[in-house]
Chains A and B, each alone.
Chain A
Amino acid sequence: MINPALLLIFGALPIAFLQRPLRQIYLLALPIVAFALALGIEDGSYGHIKVFDYTLETLRMDGLSRVFMIIFLIATFLGTLYALNDDDPVQQTSGMIYAGAAVGAVLAGDLISLFVYWELTAIASVFLILAAGTEKARRAAMRYLIIQVGSGVLLLAGALMHVADTGSIAFVHFGLETTAGKLIFLAFGVKCAFPLLHNWLQDAYPEATVGGTVMLSAFTTKLAVYSLARGYAGTEILIVIGATMTMFPIFYAVIENDLRRVLAYSLNNQLGFMVVGVGVGTELALNGTAAHAFTHILYKALLFMSMGAVLLRTGTCKGSELGGLYKTMPWTTGFCIVGAASISAFPLFSGFVSKSMILSALGYEGHWFAWGVLLFASAGVFHHSGIKIPFFAFFAHDSGMRPKEAPFNMLLAMGVTAFLCIAIGVYPTALYDILPHDVDYHPYSTAHVINQLQLLLFSALAFTFLMMTKLYPPELKSTNLDTDYVYRRLLLRLIAWLRDALAQVDRQGRQFLLGIVSAIMDWIQKHHGINGMMSQTYSAGTMVFWTLAMFLVFLVMYLAA
């Protein structure tokens, strides 16, 4: 029995030593071999290793692990294919290790293995950001690394407490009742980009390399979703957290200009759906979460791929600078639209068959408010990801750019991904068959389809209306308003004012916190920095003084005792 995770991780090591054509073949073969191996593993528990007094269960195969493993391996293949032409062995090696670690983590049956893989995903993935080579990327990478490692530390702390409490290291349902459970929850939450813990995502992902972002978008957060589904299914607070996650990124996504950052926000929003599913915790909801993670990885990768191709060919990803690219990049445009349709949950596209499961599960359990929030969020998704991304990049006003079509390997990667998006939408049974619980769900009921189409229609209408009336926020240079719509302008101003006021509070709050942090950093620098008090070379006199001081302290202590 070979653990596919280890195959990827150790298989990644020789990459740097291989030369061009051979390396590319090797890179593509590795995930395929891993996939073939992985499919042959029956449900059960394997790979027991004794460490200290504990038995690790490095390979646990069950329904939940399997579906995540499958999509992770598919994503590894697609991501590798997409970045095949990069001549950057560091990035390719770390990408492969990163993917392997993510697979390892979803297969880990105990907390120690989980922790090891958890940290490995953090360490390996940071190279994908660093490889961009810009100063901005370097800084973002450091922040990303510290937060990710911090999440691992929380996990370790929680795991230690859990072991102390229960004596078991098994990775099973924890719940929030114990302190250990809370700590582990927080660790998962950081990686899952819960509200207020989410900033690393929008911070780091858009700074990564073109291929790196595609890989990043697939693994880290979905690993967190898997972990939540494993450890905290049915924890009600997750419904609230998830619903919040679906809502707040929408507003940021609408006003953001960097299209890859828009996608990062929308990634956050899609995670919200999955988190809600975990919170509901019924079989249908967990199926929905797994299915949504599956489809989401594909269409989000597809969107990042198309934006990556744009970035590669034009050197920018700013909505205001792009436009009219469909003329010379027709294929990329088409694939992007497939991704957009999937994320917006158009019937016959993959998002539809998974998202509706979560919504239905909410409805069955009577969480009507959350249901409403998610419905609104769906409209928002369509708005910023479904329309905004393709519209501003490929259509809108003609930017005059006439870039070449994306390279063949990228088109191929996008094509395969787009095919999968449509295939799942048309034939959902294939996906439903690998879900953790038995599925008796029919997405294409009349009510679902009508409902969704109405939603999409009105959302599209709103966008068109706002564009026509030039009310749509930031990408526009001109903010002229048509005088006919005074009351709308007032309303908009009110919204704008609120937004600015919130931004102000937000900024000041952050500045305050940053102020404290930098004050601490200054203090540390002053005392511990290169010429600081603590790191100087001292004369023998000073050293003797301290020695005597210590002697007196100890003497007094011993004599007093």
Chain B
Amino acid sequence: MIAQHLPILQIVLPLMAAPVCMVIRHPQVVWIWATLITFLCLPISIALLVQVMAEGVIVYELGGWAAPWGIEYRIDKLNAFVLVIVTAIGAVVMPYARRTVDTEIPVSRVYLFYTMLLLCEAGLLGITITGDAFNLFVFLEVSSLSSYVLISFGKDRRALTAAYRYLIMGTIGATFYIVGVGLMYNATGSLNIYDLSKLIPELGGSRTIQAALAFLTVGLGLKLALFPMHMWLPNAYTYAPSAVTVFLAATATKVAVYALIRVTYTIFGTVDILEIVPVQDMFMVMAVIAMFVGSLVATYQVNVKRMLAYSSVAQIGYMMLGLSFDTVTGVAAGIVHLFNHAAMKGGLFMALGAVAYRVGGVRLEHMAGLGKKMPWTMASLVAGGLGLIGVPLTVGFVSKWYLIQAALEKGWWMIAVLIVICSLLAVVYVWRVVEVIYFRPVSEIAQEAKEAPLSMLIPTWVLIGASIYFGIDATTTLDVAFAAARTLLGDGG
């Protein structure tokens, strides 16, 4: 009975739990409630993934209305995988959040914070699970609006302007997306993604559809911070509260990448827009520029949180690069990097949150000599950093290995070389931090610092541990990613 309704539970649970927070209001109780909900969401998504891997696509009709008239949730290997990423991050962020929230959010607003965090998770899950293009827009707005609020909770006053900028850009992105959906609806009369994928090829080279695709690409490109539409991201991540940065960095952009994959490989999958050569080149060039600009800028940052934000821009470049290859290996590399990057970056931002909690800031001068004061937190920072570089035995290596293989399969030497060079840039920016941590004397500011509390350390190491575990035994993640990629490219399976 319940098993049958898991898809809707996945969404309804966090969505309905959010307003309950408004009723509870008591900071501690709200936290317990929100944590409980995220803990419930994770097994649901895992159950869904297991079911999809075993039995194939799950279709869930809302209210019993059959698609294309009603809204349906449609879960295949790809979005089941993304659901697991989002719920897993949600489940580790909640226990982590309590301490940081104590210091970063006024007590009177704590219940709002958790309300928004649950709403944001519900929105992201909704985008991922839905099989309806308009429903996707609704969830996009749910997640975006709540994330603007979440960012504006930041202690730094610049958090407000950062949130405001993100609001403008996010709204433009969402508008572009809905215009695209509108145009498609105009041309086909359908909003169902699966239905659209069958109707669109029949229209051939319709101008309306082509314009719709341009709107969709740019709208989602903006949400996923594809260079040069990434400018909202660094400030938003830098000034948001620690737990929010962790959650958004590990999930929001990933879900937007997922949505773009849906548009290019499912809705327009049979048309195969990537075979239009300039489009593929365009994606690839933007991805490579993102990789380099992001990494180069990161090497100069003195605020480590900001450095990681720029590194995210670069890492998104890696994902887009994989997608632009339009081969099973490439797409699988991009998909597996969704997971891998979520684990690494989530863990890294958590470690930084711990530094902010103990030292009060995350600029390089705050981190000087912390290797002695906070050995475990710093070790996690180093392990995560090695992942960003792509050192073997970390998930970063797995992603890069398959990206390079995909490039070689296509015979694109230059791209493979560029990936490697870009990894060297990561060495530079990670090393700067490592050096400050271990080879500088402890700064005045950090004299009193202690090791992070266990409630922060454990979630950090869960993510960093995952980034190492799945680097050594990548069978599970790779199997899912490859299966998803094969389905997307219509290559059997």
Q: Which residues of A contact B (CB under 8 A)?
A: 51-52, 90, 112, 115-116, 119, 123, 130, 133, 138, 142, 145-146, 149-150, 153, 156-157, 160-161, 164, 524-525, 528-530, 532, 534-535, 537-540, 542-544, 546-547, 549-551, 553-555, 557-561
Contact = CB atoms under 8 A, between A and B. Distances in A.
Nearest to B235: A537
B273 A535 contact: no
A543 B229 contact: yes
Contact of A555 (B172, B214, B438): B214
A540 B214 contact: no
A530 B221 contact: no
Nearest to A123: B391
B214 to A, nearest CB: 4
B424 A546 contact: no
B261 interface: no
A156 B164 CA distance: 45
Nearest to A16: B375
User: How big is the B interface, by class?
Assistant: 35 or more
A56 to B, nearest CB: 11
Given A550-B218, A554-B217, A559 B207 contact: yes
Contact of B300 (A145, A532, A557, A561): A532
Nearest to B292: A528
Nearest to B293: A534
Interface stretch (B101-109, B142-150, B276-284): B276-284
Given A150-B424, A157-B420, A130 B439 contact: yes
Contacts of B404: 160
B297 A535 contact: yes
A317 to B, nearest CB: 23
A525 B300 contact: yes
Contacts of B438: 90
Contacts of B231: 537-538, 542-543, 546
Nearest to B474: A52
Contact of B405 (A116, A160, A540): A160
Given A133-B439, A559-B207, 19 more contacts: A51-B472, A130-B435, A138-B435, A157-B420, A160-B404, A164-B405, A528-B293, A529-B300, A530-B302, A539-B165, A540-B165, A543-B168, A546-B229, A554-B279, A554-B282, A555-B211, A557-B278, A561-B210, A561-B276
Contacts of A112: 392
Given A530-B302, A558-B279, A551 B176 contact: yes
A547 B391 CA distance: 35
Which secondary structure dominates chain A's binding surface? helix
A119 B176 contact: no
Contacts of B339: none
A561 B278 CA distance: 9
Interface in B416-431: 416-417, 420, 423-424, 427, 431
Interface of B: 164-165, 168-169, 172-173, 176, 205, 207, 210-211, 213-215, 217-218, 221-222, 228-229, 231-232, 234-235, 273, 276, 278-279, 282, 293, 296-297, 299-302, 310, 391-393, 401, 404-405, 408, 416-417, 420, 423-424, 427, 431, 435, 438-439, 472, 474, 478
Nearest to B205: A561
B26 to A, nearest CB: 38
Contacts of B207: 559
Nearest to B281: A557
B403 to A, nearest CB: 11
A560 B417 CA distance: 31
A156 B276 contact: no
Given A543-B165, A546-B231, A547-B169, A535 B405 contact: no
Contact of A547 (B172, B401, B424): B172
Contacts of B228: 546, 549-550
26 contacts: A116-B392, A123-B391, A130-B439, A149-B424, A149-B427, A157-B417, A164-B405, A164-B408, A528-B300, A534-B293, A534-B297, A535-B297, A535-B300, A535-B301, A543-B168, A543-B169, A546-B231, A547-B229, A550-B229, A551-B176, A551-B215, A551-B218, A554-B279, A557-B279, A560-B278, A561-B210
A476 B417 CA distance: 49
In the A-B complex, list the 4 residue pairs whose CB atoms are closest, starting with the nearest: A555-B214, A528-B296, A558-B210, A561-B276
Contacts of A553: 282
Contacts of A138: 435, 439
A236 B75 CA distance: 61
